[in-house]
Structure 1
Amino acid sequence: MSSVQNQNIKASLNEREGFQVWWRLLRPHTLTAAFVPVFVGTMLAAMEQTINFWLFAAMLLASILIQAATNMFNEYYDYKRGLDNENSVGIGGTIVRDGINPKTVLSLAYSFFILAGLLGVYICASSSWWIAVIGLVSMLFGYLYTGGPLPIAYTPFGEITAGFFMGTIIIGISYFIQTLTITAEVIIVSVPVAIFVGTILLANNIRDRVGDAENGRKTLAILFGHKGSIVFISSLFATAFIWTGVLIILGTLPLWSLITFFSVIKATKAIQGFIGKTQPLEMMPAMKATAQTNTIYGFLLGLSLLLHLNFPLS
């Protein structure tokens, strides 16, 4: 590819030089998927007792580091397998478009894992060393997501894996390190967040469906096809909101949690953004709206718990 073509693609993706190169490597639009479950889990704990701010901060930073490292492993191994090139949309592009040494990206990923591990030592010393086992398993799956002989991201199990570990598991850990216990209600409340995290990956796979199929992937988006994938992501959004409504009716979530339904606006925009689109660049706004749905829902859910704690409606 010529340098002129490369510059045109960078311009269409609004990619800049300098610090922005390293910022893109982190894939910042995905990092809210690390913030949301920690925030929600901690706010659930705040309903029971006063929270430890430093444990919250350590858990949040560790979660963000693991998510960023997972993104870097994705960038590195997709490049090594020849799946990413200068035309690829949605990747950080630091290797294929900006010329960053692949080994540098891999080293950064391992460094982030080490930093997350050090934070994990503090978290375990302040709560329970069982957290270390769960944390190591989570980090292993973060690596295996695109690393290893059979990357999870290349199978139909990517969405459920991401949702489980980045939703339910992180919410559970965030709650446990504050309270030293876990309840069925916490797991039940985590389900919509897990679903929304999974939809971020699904949106990504819908956008990349054609290219992924050509490279031998077997994602859900490929199995369902474009129209089927739109129906599927719509059903996931509907399930998450219905689940939330039921929890409010049953009293598991407070009435304040009705504010989470403001995120329906973004979910609708995401669905509409996929309809009739065929090119990856055309579907970027839909993918962005999907990530924003998770961010807005999760933030409003955590906020609703905080509001209930200070201004209960019943």
Structure 2
Amino acid sequence: MATPAQWLAGARPRTLPAALSPVIAGAGVAAWADAFSWWRTLLCLVVSLALQIGCNYANDYSDGIRGTDDVRVGPLRLTGSRAARPGAVKAAAFACFALAGVAGLVLAAVTAWWLVLVGVLCVLAAWFYTGGKRPYGYAGLGEVMVFVFFGLVAVVGTVYVQTQDWRWGGLWGGVGVGALTTALLVANNLRDIPTDALAGKNTLAVRLGDPASRRLYVALVLLAVVAVVGVAATTSWVALIGLLFLAVAAQGMRTVATARNTGPALIPALQQTGVADLAWALCVGVPLFFA
């Protein structure tokens, strides 16, 4: 039986900034529009965190039973390391999805019922990333789906449940958060190219190869820079404070550029990118509360 510390490690806490960032950015845009609601923001945060942790456990389960995680470079995997029974890890994933569903239903009830469909799509995207007979993460589509669901959908959704209106600032916020969250996945998959290729997991990094994946990482960070300008142009100039995120993002770019090989040398890039993602959201979103 896995210990509480192992379950915490299996939840992959270093990825949780990817769940916090879209809610912070979306709440900032909603505040600029004079529509901020603390309890709706809190429910969005529950949905985002529960989906992120559920996705992590789902990936742990699906990769573990396929044998993809038999040889690990990164943090502990519960299923692959045999620290927990596969059924228990799967149950943890669906418990998280259920929690996200309950919070999402409350938001849909006070906003619009069609949001239930969005929630269902989010859960399906989380499960079939590595789950099912034809997981899209094994076909090189993981980065696309992360950009869409953990970027565009998460930020625009956070804005919409508060303003009940379309805001261009929300779209640009989704681009910025989505770009850095996708960069986090690129760094993770870049690290795992040798083991993923051996296991038949054809991620985008495996398909592109090492040099092109490193260039993609840099391009995503630059896209996040463009997104800061986009948010400022559609809300307030104070959002340009978000460019300060580059002070953190530069560390990740340096690690990705200088690490001589995939594997342990790239592990620091995961934390650096996650912090950069959170810094982007804080430096863009918080100033908008005072705009």
Partner of 1:305: 288
Partner of 1:119: 103
Q: Show CA shifts across 1:203-224 (max 9, x none).
A: 1100001111112222221222
Partner of 1:272: 254
Partner of 1:4: none
Q: Using the alignment, how far apart are the partners of 2:13 and 2:84 within structure 1?
A: 18
Partner of 1:178: 162
Tell me the secondary structure at the aligned position of residue 80 of structure 2: coil
Q: Using the alignment, how far apart are the partners of 1:47 and 1:247 within structure 2?
A: 11
Alignment of 1:252-271 (within 5 A): 252-271=234-253
Instruction: Tell me which of 182, 185, 188 is aligned to 1:201.
Output: 185
Q: Using the alignment, how far apart are the partners of 1:56 and 1:245 within structure 2?
A: 24
Partner of 2:9: 24
Instruction: Tell me which of 66, 80, 102 is aligned to 1:81.
Output: 66
Tell me the secondary structure at the aligned position of residue 122 of structure 2: helix
Identity of aligned residues (%): 27
Letter in 2 for 1:40: A
**Which runs of 5 or more residues in structure 1 are unaligned?**
1-16, 309-314
| Residues paired across the two proteins, number | 289
How much does 1:51 deviate?
2.3
Q: Alpha carbons of 1:229 and 1:178: their partners in 2 closer, same or farther (altered >3 Å)?
A: same
Off by >4 Å, runs of 4+ in structure 1 = none
Partner of 1:95: 79
Q: Using the alignment, how far apart are the partners of 2:62 and 2:270 within structure 1?
A: 22
Q: Using the alignment, how far apart are the partners of 2:86 and 2:124 within structure 1?
A: 20
Q: What TM-score does the superposition give when structure 2 sets the normalisation length?
A: 0.93
8 Å contact kept, 2:172–2:228? no
Q: Alpha carbons of 1:143 and 1:264: their partners in 2 closer, same or farther (altered >3 Å)?
A: same
Q: Using the alignment, how far apart are the partners of 1:78 and 1:91 within structure 2?
A: 14
Partner of 1:227: 211
Instruction: Tell me which of 39, 54, 59 is aligned to 2:44.
Output: 59
Alignment of 1:136-215 (within 5 A): 136-215=120-199
How much does 1:247 deviate?
4.8
Q: Alpha carbons of 1:166 and 1:246: their partners in 2 closer, same or farther (altered >3 Å)?
A: closer
Tell me the secondary structure at the aligned position of residue 34 of structure 1: helix
How much does 1:96 deviate?
3.3
8 Å contact kept, 1:21–1:98? no
**For the aligned residues, what is the CA RMSD?**
1.8
Q: Would you say 1:38 and 2:38 are equivalent positions?
A: no
Name the larger-Rg structure: 1
Partner of 1:237: 221
How much does 1:254 deviate?
2.4
8 Å contact kept, 2:141–2:203? yes
Q: Show CA shifts across 1:229-257 (max 9, x none).
A: 11121122112213423553xx3242322
8 Å contact kept, 2:259–2:266? no
Q: Using the alignment, how far apart are the partners of 1:113 and 1:266 within structure 2?
A: 31
How much does 1:26 deviate?
1.1
